[in-house]
Chain A
Amino acid sequence: MALKGAVMAVLTACSSSAKKIEKSAHTVRSWTATADATTNALAAGSVPRVYGVQIRGAAEQARRQAVAQAEWESLPAHTRRELEQAITRLQFWLASGDTTSRDE
Protein backbone atom coordinates (compact mmCIF):
# COMPACT_ATOMS: atom_id res chain seq x y z
CA MET A 1 0.00 0.00 0.00
CA ALA A 2 2.75 2.43 1.01
CA LEU A 3 4.83 1.22 -1.94
CA LYS A 4 1.97 1.92 -4.34
CA GLY A 5 1.68 5.44 -2.92
CA ALA A 6 5.38 6.01 -3.31
CA VAL A 7 5.35 4.74 -6.89
CA MET A 8 2.45 7.05 -7.75
CA ALA A 9 4.28 9.98 -6.20
CA VAL A 10 7.43 9.29 -8.20
CA LEU A 11 5.48 8.81 -11.42
CA THR A 12 3.64 12.09 -10.92
CA ALA A 13 6.87 13.90 -10.22
CA CYS A 14 8.50 12.43 -13.31
CA SER A 15 5.60 13.24 -15.62
CA SER A 16 5.30 16.82 -14.42
CA SER A 17 8.98 17.37 -15.00
CA ALA A 18 8.57 15.75 -18.41
CA LYS A 19 5.92 18.36 -19.05
CA LYS A 20 8.27 21.08 -17.92
CA ILE A 21 10.96 19.85 -20.27
CA GLU A 22 8.49 19.80 -23.14
CA LYS A 23 7.37 23.34 -22.29
CA SER A 24 10.93 24.59 -22.13
CA ALA A 25 11.77 22.91 -25.46
CA HIS A 26 8.68 24.49 -26.96
CA THR A 27 9.72 27.96 -25.85
CA VAL A 28 13.28 27.46 -27.07
CA ARG A 29 12.09 26.32 -30.48
CA SER A 30 9.69 29.27 -30.65
CA TRP A 31 12.55 31.69 -30.10
CA THR A 32 14.72 29.89 -32.63
CA ALA A 33 11.94 30.30 -35.17
CA THR A 34 11.52 33.96 -34.18
CA ALA A 35 15.19 34.73 -34.62
CA ASP A 36 15.26 32.97 -38.00
CA ALA A 37 12.09 34.68 -39.19
CA THR A 38 13.56 38.01 -38.18
CA THR A 39 16.82 37.37 -40.00
CA ASN A 40 14.86 36.49 -43.12
CA ALA A 41 12.62 39.52 -42.72
CA LEU A 42 15.66 41.77 -42.36
CA ALA A 43 17.17 40.29 -45.51
CA ALA A 44 13.90 40.81 -47.35
CA GLY A 45 13.68 44.37 -46.05
CA SER A 46 10.29 43.81 -44.47
CA VAL A 47 11.38 44.92 -41.04
CA PRO A 48 13.69 47.79 -40.12
CA ARG A 49 17.06 47.14 -38.55
CA VAL A 50 15.91 48.61 -35.28
CA TYR A 51 13.44 45.74 -34.96
CA GLY A 52 16.17 43.18 -35.57
CA VAL A 53 18.07 44.65 -32.65
CA GLN A 54 15.04 44.29 -30.39
CA ILE A 55 14.52 40.64 -31.33
CA ARG A 56 18.21 39.90 -30.90
CA GLY A 57 17.99 41.28 -27.38
CA ALA A 58 14.78 39.48 -26.55
CA ALA A 59 15.99 36.15 -27.95
CA GLU A 60 19.26 36.43 -26.07
CA GLN A 61 17.35 37.16 -22.85
CA ALA A 62 15.10 34.15 -23.48
CA ARG A 63 18.16 31.98 -24.05
CA ARG A 64 19.74 33.09 -20.80
CA GLN A 65 16.53 32.38 -18.92
CA ALA A 66 16.32 28.91 -20.48
CA VAL A 67 19.93 28.12 -19.61
CA ALA A 68 19.30 29.10 -16.00
CA GLN A 69 16.49 26.56 -15.72
CA ALA A 70 16.98 22.97 -14.51
CA GLU A 71 15.42 21.63 -17.72
CA TRP A 72 18.14 23.02 -19.97
CA GLU A 73 20.38 20.01 -19.56
CA SER A 74 17.53 17.62 -20.42
CA LEU A 75 16.72 19.34 -23.70
CA PRO A 76 17.82 17.58 -26.89
CA ALA A 77 21.24 18.82 -27.94
CA HIS A 78 20.11 19.95 -31.38
CA THR A 79 17.34 22.09 -29.88
CA ARG A 80 19.82 23.96 -27.73
CA ARG A 81 22.29 24.31 -30.57
CA GLU A 82 19.69 25.58 -33.01
CA LEU A 83 18.71 28.44 -30.73
CA GLU A 84 22.29 29.51 -30.27
CA GLN A 85 22.93 29.32 -34.00
CA ALA A 86 19.79 31.28 -34.85
CA ILE A 87 20.80 34.07 -32.49
CA THR A 88 24.31 34.06 -33.93
CA ARG A 89 22.96 34.31 -37.48
CA LEU A 90 20.81 37.26 -36.48
CA GLN A 91 23.73 38.84 -34.67
CA PHE A 92 25.92 38.40 -37.71
CA TRP A 93 23.36 39.90 -40.04
CA LEU A 94 23.00 42.97 -37.85
CA ALA A 95 26.74 43.38 -37.56
CA SER A 96 27.58 43.01 -41.21
CA GLY A 97 24.59 44.78 -42.75
CA ASP A 98 23.58 43.40 -46.14
CA THR A 99 25.58 40.22 -46.34
CA THR A 100 23.87 37.26 -44.75
CA SER A 101 25.41 34.09 -43.47
CA ARG A 102 22.50 31.88 -44.28
CA ASP A 103 24.68 29.32 -45.99
CA GLU A 104 25.86 27.29 -43.04
Chain B
Amino acid sequence: MSGIIGYGLYIPKYRIETAEIAKMWQKDPMEIFTGLKVRQKSIHGIDEDTVTISIEAGKRAISMAGIKASVLQAVYIGSESHPYAVNPTSTTVAEYLGVGNDYFAADLEFACKAGTAGMQVLVGLLSAGEIDYGLVIGADAAQGKPHDALEYTAASAGAAYILGKKKAEIIADILCMSSFSSDTPDFWRREGQRYPSHFGRFTGEPAYFAHVVAEGKKLLSQSKLTAKDFDYCVFHMPNGKFPRVAGKKLGFTPEQLAPSLTVDSIGNPYSASSLVGLGAVLDIAKPNQKIFFISYGSGAGSDGFVFETTKNILTKRKKSISFTEETENTVKISYQQYLKQTHSI
Protein backbone atom coordinates (compact mmCIF):
# COMPACT_ATOMS: atom_id res chain seq x y z
CA MET B 1 0.00 0.00 0.00
CA SER B 2 1.29 3.50 -0.80
CA GLY B 3 1.30 6.32 1.63
CA ILE B 4 2.72 9.70 2.53
CA ILE B 5 6.19 9.45 4.05
CA GLY B 6 6.82 13.17 4.40
CA TYR B 7 5.38 16.56 3.50
CA GLY B 8 6.50 20.18 3.45
CA LEU B 9 4.64 23.45 3.31
CA TYR B 10 5.95 26.82 2.18
CA ILE B 11 3.87 29.95 2.60
CA PRO B 12 5.47 33.28 1.52
CA LYS B 13 5.58 35.80 4.36
CA TYR B 14 3.70 38.70 2.78
CA ARG B 15 -0.01 39.26 3.45
CA ILE B 16 -2.49 41.70 1.97
CA GLU B 17 -5.73 42.16 3.81
CA THR B 18 -8.98 41.91 1.88
CA ALA B 19 -9.91 45.20 3.55
CA GLU B 20 -6.88 46.85 1.88
CA ILE B 21 -8.03 45.58 -1.53
CA ALA B 22 -11.63 46.60 -0.82
CA LYS B 23 -10.43 50.12 0.02
CA MET B 24 -8.85 50.38 -3.44
CA TRP B 25 -12.15 49.71 -5.18
CA GLN B 26 -14.22 51.57 -2.61
CA LYS B 27 -16.06 48.44 -1.56
CA ASP B 28 -17.24 47.73 1.96
CA PRO B 29 -14.67 45.44 3.62
CA MET B 30 -17.35 43.86 5.81
CA GLU B 31 -19.42 43.00 2.74
CA ILE B 32 -16.38 41.32 1.17
CA PHE B 33 -15.58 39.39 4.32
CA THR B 34 -19.16 38.25 4.77
CA GLY B 35 -19.29 37.01 1.21
CA LEU B 36 -15.91 35.28 1.05
CA LYS B 37 -14.97 34.68 4.67
CA VAL B 38 -11.34 35.51 3.80
CA ARG B 39 -9.43 38.04 5.90
CA GLN B 40 -6.14 38.15 4.05
CA LYS B 41 -4.12 36.27 1.46
CA SER B 42 -0.47 35.28 1.14
CA ILE B 43 1.58 36.94 -1.57
CA HIS B 44 4.91 35.86 -3.03
CA GLY B 45 7.99 38.10 -2.93
CA ILE B 46 8.83 39.97 -6.11
CA ASP B 47 11.49 37.40 -7.00
CA GLU B 48 9.56 34.27 -6.03
CA ASP B 49 7.68 32.03 -8.44
CA THR B 50 6.29 28.52 -8.66
CA VAL B 51 9.79 27.08 -9.08
CA THR B 52 11.29 28.80 -6.02
CA ILE B 53 8.19 28.06 -3.92
CA SER B 54 8.29 24.39 -4.98
CA ILE B 55 11.95 24.10 -4.04
CA GLU B 56 11.28 25.43 -0.52
CA ALA B 57 8.34 23.05 0.02
CA GLY B 58 10.22 20.16 -1.61
CA LYS B 59 13.26 20.60 0.63
CA ARG B 60 11.07 20.45 3.72
CA ALA B 61 9.28 17.34 2.54
CA ILE B 62 12.62 15.63 1.85
CA SER B 63 13.87 16.61 5.29
CA MET B 64 10.77 15.24 7.01
CA ALA B 65 10.75 12.06 4.95
CA GLY B 66 14.32 11.45 6.02
CA ILE B 67 15.44 10.33 2.58
CA LYS B 68 18.13 11.47 0.14
CA ALA B 69 16.70 13.45 -2.76
CA SER B 70 18.40 11.02 -5.16
CA VAL B 71 16.06 8.14 -4.19
CA LEU B 72 13.09 9.99 -5.67
CA GLN B 73 12.06 8.31 -8.90
CA ALA B 74 9.21 10.56 -9.96
CA VAL B 75 8.61 14.30 -9.73
CA TYR B 76 5.26 15.81 -10.69
CA ILE B 77 4.43 19.45 -10.18
CA GLY B 78 0.91 20.80 -10.57
CA SER B 79 0.34 24.55 -10.95
CA GLU B 80 -1.63 27.20 -12.76
CA SER B 81 1.42 29.43 -12.83
CA HIS B 82 4.23 27.34 -14.27
CA PRO B 83 6.89 29.94 -15.17
CA TYR B 84 7.10 28.68 -18.75
CA ALA B 85 4.40 27.63 -21.18
CA VAL B 86 6.95 25.15 -22.52
CA ASN B 87 9.87 24.09 -20.26
CA PRO B 88 9.14 21.88 -17.28
CA THR B 89 8.98 23.21 -13.75
CA SER B 90 9.40 19.64 -12.52
CA THR B 91 12.91 19.18 -13.88
CA THR B 92 14.14 22.61 -12.75
CA VAL B 93 12.88 21.89 -9.23
CA ALA B 94 14.23 18.33 -9.33
CA GLU B 95 17.64 19.62 -10.42
CA TYR B 96 17.90 22.13 -7.59
CA LEU B 97 16.65 19.53 -5.08
CA GLY B 98 19.42 17.19 -6.20
CA VAL B 99 17.22 14.36 -7.50
CA GLY B 100 19.70 13.33 -10.17
CA ASN B 101 18.61 12.01 -13.57
CA ASP B 102 16.70 8.78 -12.90
CA TYR B 103 13.13 9.92 -12.45
CA PHE B 104 9.78 10.21 -14.22
CA ALA B 105 8.76 13.84 -14.58
CA ALA B 106 6.03 16.01 -15.95
CA ASP B 107 4.25 19.27 -15.26
CA LEU B 108 0.53 19.03 -14.64
CA GLU B 109 -2.29 21.47 -15.16
CA PHE B 110 -5.85 20.97 -13.97
CA ALA B 111 -6.64 24.28 -12.34
CA CYS B 112 -6.58 23.87 -8.54
CA LYS B 113 -6.37 20.09 -8.57
CA ALA B 114 -3.19 19.72 -10.61
CA GLY B 115 -1.24 18.74 -7.48
CA THR B 116 -3.68 16.07 -6.32
CA ALA B 117 -3.83 14.66 -9.85
CA GLY B 118 -0.07 14.27 -9.55
CA MET B 119 -0.56 12.41 -6.30
CA GLN B 120 -2.83 9.93 -8.11
CA VAL B 121 -0.15 9.41 -10.75
CA LEU B 122 2.37 8.58 -8.00
CA VAL B 123 -0.02 6.07 -6.42
CA GLY B 124 -0.32 4.44 -9.82
CA LEU B 125 3.45 4.20 -10.31
CA LEU B 126 3.98 2.94 -6.75
CA SER B 127 1.26 0.33 -6.99
CA ALA B 128 2.64 -0.89 -10.32
CA GLY B 129 6.05 -1.28 -8.78
CA GLU B 130 7.59 1.21 -11.17
CA ILE B 131 8.93 3.43 -8.37
CA ASP B 132 9.70 3.21 -4.66
CA TYR B 133 9.55 6.94 -3.91
CA GLY B 134 7.89 9.86 -5.63
CA LEU B 135 7.49 13.59 -5.07
CA VAL B 136 4.42 15.64 -5.93
CA ILE B 137 4.10 19.37 -5.41
CA GLY B 138 1.09 21.65 -5.76
CA ALA B 139 2.31 25.25 -5.96
CA ASP B 140 1.13 28.55 -7.29
CA ALA B 141 2.11 32.24 -7.36
CA ALA B 142 -1.46 33.15 -8.09
CA GLN B 143 -2.82 36.11 -9.98
CA GLY B 144 -6.23 37.66 -9.61
CA LYS B 145 -7.41 40.30 -12.02
CA PRO B 146 -7.65 43.72 -10.37
CA HIS B 147 -11.22 44.68 -9.47
CA ASP B 148 -12.37 41.08 -9.96
CA ALA B 149 -13.84 38.97 -7.19
CA LEU B 150 -10.90 36.57 -7.36
CA GLU B 151 -8.50 39.38 -6.49
CA TYR B 152 -9.47 38.95 -2.85
CA THR B 153 -8.55 35.28 -2.68
CA ALA B 154 -5.92 34.34 -5.29
CA ALA B 155 -2.83 33.61 -3.18
CA SER B 156 0.63 31.98 -3.27
CA ALA B 157 1.97 28.87 -1.54
CA GLY B 158 3.45 25.42 -2.12
CA ALA B 159 2.81 22.00 -0.62
CA ALA B 160 5.06 19.03 -1.31
CA TYR B 161 4.30 15.38 -0.57
CA ILE B 162 6.63 12.39 -0.80
CA LEU B 163 4.96 9.02 -1.27
CA GLY B 164 6.49 5.62 -0.63
CA LYS B 165 5.66 2.01 0.14
CA LYS B 166 7.74 1.07 3.21
CA LYS B 167 5.52 0.56 6.24
CA ALA B 168 8.21 1.83 8.58
CA GLU B 169 8.33 5.15 6.73
CA ILE B 170 4.67 5.87 6.04
CA ILE B 171 2.98 8.49 8.21
CA ALA B 172 -0.39 8.28 6.43
CA ASP B 173 -1.62 5.36 4.34
CA ILE B 174 -3.69 6.03 1.23
CA LEU B 175 -6.61 3.68 1.73
CA CYS B 176 -8.40 4.51 -1.51
CA MET B 177 -8.74 7.16 -4.17
CA SER B 178 -11.05 8.11 -7.04
CA SER B 179 -11.98 11.06 -9.22
CA PHE B 180 -15.06 12.67 -10.66
CA SER B 181 -14.40 14.52 -13.92
CA SER B 182 -16.48 16.40 -16.47
CA ASP B 183 -16.23 19.21 -18.99
CA THR B 184 -17.53 22.21 -17.08
CA PRO B 185 -16.30 25.67 -18.21
CA ASP B 186 -16.56 27.53 -14.89
CA PHE B 187 -13.05 29.06 -14.73
CA TRP B 188 -10.31 29.16 -17.37
CA ARG B 189 -7.25 31.04 -18.66
CA ARG B 190 -6.47 31.32 -22.36
CA GLU B 191 -2.89 31.05 -23.65
CA GLY B 192 -1.16 34.44 -23.38
CA GLN B 193 -3.72 35.85 -20.97
CA ARG B 194 -2.29 37.08 -17.70
CA TYR B 195 -5.37 36.58 -15.54
CA PRO B 196 -7.94 33.80 -15.44
CA SER B 197 -11.57 34.36 -16.27
CA HIS B 198 -14.62 32.82 -14.62
CA PHE B 199 -18.34 32.76 -14.92
CA GLY B 200 -19.45 34.16 -11.58
CA ARG B 201 -22.09 32.14 -9.82
CA PHE B 202 -21.73 29.29 -12.31
CA THR B 203 -18.57 28.39 -10.39
CA GLY B 204 -20.72 27.42 -7.40
CA GLU B 205 -23.43 24.78 -7.62
CA PRO B 206 -22.82 23.34 -11.09
CA ALA B 207 -19.06 23.43 -10.72
CA TYR B 208 -17.47 23.26 -7.25
CA PHE B 209 -20.35 21.67 -5.41
CA ALA B 210 -21.42 19.32 -8.18
CA HIS B 211 -17.99 17.74 -8.37
CA VAL B 212 -16.98 17.86 -4.71
CA VAL B 213 -20.28 16.32 -3.59
CA ALA B 214 -20.34 13.72 -6.37
CA GLU B 215 -16.78 12.64 -5.63
CA GLY B 216 -17.49 12.84 -1.90
CA LYS B 217 -20.39 10.41 -2.20
CA LYS B 218 -18.35 8.16 -4.48
CA LEU B 219 -15.46 8.09 -2.03
CA LEU B 220 -17.67 7.29 0.93
CA SER B 221 -19.25 4.46 -0.97
CA GLN B 222 -15.89 3.20 -2.24
CA SER B 223 -14.35 3.25 1.24
CA LYS B 224 -17.50 1.76 2.80
CA LEU B 225 -17.32 4.47 5.46
CA THR B 226 -19.63 7.23 6.64
CA ALA B 227 -18.78 10.82 7.59
CA LYS B 228 -18.88 9.84 11.25
CA ASP B 229 -16.01 7.37 10.73
CA PHE B 230 -13.61 10.18 9.91
CA ASP B 231 -11.65 12.38 12.31
CA TYR B 232 -10.99 15.12 9.80
CA CYS B 233 -12.12 16.32 6.40
CA VAL B 234 -10.32 18.55 3.91
CA PHE B 235 -11.81 20.24 0.86
CA HIS B 236 -10.41 22.58 -1.75
CA MET B 237 -10.85 26.10 -0.44
CA PRO B 238 -11.56 28.74 -3.10
CA ASN B 239 -12.91 30.92 -0.28
CA GLY B 240 -13.96 30.50 3.34
CA LYS B 241 -17.57 29.70 2.49
CA PHE B 242 -17.45 26.85 -0.05
CA PRO B 243 -15.59 24.21 2.03
CA ARG B 244 -17.85 24.89 5.00
CA VAL B 245 -20.94 24.33 2.84
CA ALA B 246 -19.41 21.25 1.18
CA GLY B 247 -18.60 19.71 4.56
CA LYS B 248 -22.15 20.22 5.69
CA LYS B 249 -23.59 18.77 2.48
CA LEU B 250 -21.54 15.60 2.93
CA GLY B 251 -22.49 15.21 6.59
CA PHE B 252 -19.31 16.44 8.30
CA THR B 253 -19.29 18.58 11.42
CA PRO B 254 -17.56 21.96 11.73
CA GLU B 255 -15.15 20.35 14.24
CA GLN B 256 -14.01 17.78 11.66
CA LEU B 257 -13.42 20.54 9.12
CA ALA B 258 -11.92 23.30 11.28
CA PRO B 259 -8.21 22.28 11.37
CA SER B 260 -8.04 22.23 7.56
CA LEU B 261 -9.37 25.74 6.97
CA THR B 262 -6.04 27.37 6.06
CA VAL B 263 -7.99 29.61 3.68
CA ASP B 264 -8.93 31.73 6.67
CA SER B 265 -5.36 32.98 7.07
CA ILE B 266 -3.78 32.64 3.63
CA GLY B 267 -6.56 32.75 1.04
CA ASN B 268 -6.62 30.36 -1.95
CA PRO B 269 -3.19 29.37 -3.32
CA TYR B 270 -4.83 27.41 -6.16
CA SER B 271 -2.95 24.14 -6.74
CA ALA B 272 -1.59 24.25 -3.21
CA SER B 273 -4.89 24.97 -1.49
CA SER B 274 -6.25 21.54 -0.58
CA LEU B 275 -2.73 20.15 -0.06
CA VAL B 276 -1.87 22.93 2.41
CA GLY B 277 -5.14 22.19 4.20
CA LEU B 278 -4.15 18.53 4.35
CA GLY B 279 -0.77 19.51 5.77
CA ALA B 280 -2.38 21.58 8.50
CA VAL B 281 -4.43 18.52 9.50
CA LEU B 282 -1.43 16.18 9.41
CA ASP B 283 0.38 18.69 11.66
CA ILE B 284 -2.02 17.90 14.49
CA ALA B 285 -3.45 14.44 13.70
CA LYS B 286 -2.84 11.56 16.08
CA PRO B 287 -1.92 8.07 14.87
CA ASN B 288 -4.69 5.88 13.41
CA GLN B 289 -6.96 8.76 12.46
CA LYS B 290 -8.87 8.89 9.18
CA ILE B 291 -8.83 11.94 6.91
CA PHE B 292 -11.45 12.52 4.16
CA PHE B 293 -9.94 14.59 1.34
CA ILE B 294 -11.58 16.10 -1.77
CA SER B 295 -9.82 18.56 -4.06
CA TYR B 296 -11.44 20.53 -6.87
CA GLY B 297 -10.08 21.84 -10.14
CA SER B 298 -12.12 24.00 -12.46
CA GLY B 299 -12.80 22.64 -15.91
CA ALA B 300 -13.69 20.45 -13.91
CA GLY B 301 -12.96 17.59 -11.58
CA SER B 302 -12.47 16.45 -8.02
CA ASP B 303 -9.86 14.01 -6.70
CA GLY B 304 -10.76 12.11 -3.57
CA PHE B 305 -8.47 10.31 -1.10
CA VAL B 306 -8.97 8.53 2.19
CA PHE B 307 -5.85 8.80 4.38
CA GLU B 308 -5.18 7.01 7.65
CA THR B 309 -2.36 8.21 9.86
CA THR B 310 0.15 5.78 11.39
CA LYS B 311 2.23 5.99 14.55
CA ASN B 312 5.22 7.14 12.47
CA ILE B 313 3.62 10.56 12.20
CA LEU B 314 4.61 11.45 15.75
CA THR B 315 8.36 11.11 15.30
CA LYS B 316 8.54 12.46 11.77
CA ARG B 317 6.51 15.56 12.64
CA LYS B 318 9.29 16.65 14.98
CA LYS B 319 11.40 17.35 11.91
CA SER B 320 8.89 19.52 10.11
CA ILE B 321 7.75 23.13 10.16
CA SER B 322 4.01 23.18 10.88
CA PHE B 323 1.53 25.43 9.11
CA THR B 324 1.16 27.43 12.33
CA GLU B 325 4.90 27.97 12.68
CA GLU B 326 5.23 28.74 8.99
CA THR B 327 2.59 31.45 9.15
CA GLU B 328 3.77 33.01 12.42
CA ASN B 329 5.85 35.92 11.17
CA THR B 330 4.06 37.76 8.40
CA VAL B 331 4.49 41.18 6.81
CA LYS B 332 1.43 43.17 5.83
CA ILE B 333 1.78 45.00 2.54
CA SER B 334 -0.09 47.86 0.93
CA TYR B 335 -2.03 47.60 -2.33
CA GLN B 336 0.79 49.41 -4.19
CA GLN B 337 3.36 47.00 -2.79
CA TYR B 338 1.05 44.12 -3.78
CA LEU B 339 0.92 45.41 -7.36
CA LYS B 340 4.72 45.68 -7.41
CA GLN B 341 5.29 42.19 -6.06
CA THR B 342 2.82 40.58 -8.44
CA HIS B 343 4.47 42.38 -11.37
CA SER B 344 1.36 44.40 -12.15
CA ILE B 345 3.36 47.64 -12.17
Q: Bound pair: A and B? A: no
Interfacial residues, chain A to chain B (CB-CB below 8 A) = none
